[in-house]
Amino acid sequence: CCGYGVFTADRSLLWMEGNVVSGHQLSGINVQGEGSRATLLNNEVHDCKANGFMACAQAQVFLEKNKICTNGDAGVSVCDAGTQAVVKANAISRNGLVGVYVFDGASALVEDNDLRENAHLALSVHKDCADSVVCSGNAT
């Protein structure tokens, strides 16, 4: 398969529950754009060449009880000012770089996730996001 598994842009609404997304050349799921909102529950995202899941460009996302593993870059990547993510009770492991990466002014709540066994780091929060990221209860 090629490209993104799932891609949404400005003002999109996405609800995904119980799906498998795998083997894509880019990110498995990409949600971007002002006004875009996504809820992902109980999905599996694996074996994508880039990120398992990416939120950017002022999207608002909620991820709970997903299995996100063996992707080439980050399991979950959250970037850009105005982008907000809740990443809760997920298994995010064995990704090529980090479990969860928050950067470029994004904000996130990262809570009660299993972030073990990622190649470089369980969680990476860039210094420009330090005041807008809350982490608690994660297994690292």
Q: Over the stretch 22-44, which tens digit does the pLDDT of each residue have?
A: 999 999 999 999 999 999 999 99
Query: Which pLDDT value is given to residue 2?
Result: 59
SS3 102: strand
**pTM for this prediction:** 0.97
Place of tokens 């907000």: 84
Euclidean distance between CA atoms 80 and 26, whole angstroms: 19
Do strands 53-56 and 29-32 pair parallel, antiparallel, or not at all (unpaired)?
parallel
Give the containing element (helix H, strand E) for 45.
strand 44-46
* pLDDT for position 94: 98
Q: In a 3-state reduction of DSSP, which class is residue 67? A: strand
List the chain residues with pLDDT less than 50: 1
pLDDT given for residue 49 in this prediction: 97
CA angle 74, 75, 76 (to 5 degrees): 90
**Res 22: pLDDT:** 97
Q: For residue 1, what pLDDT is reported? A: 45
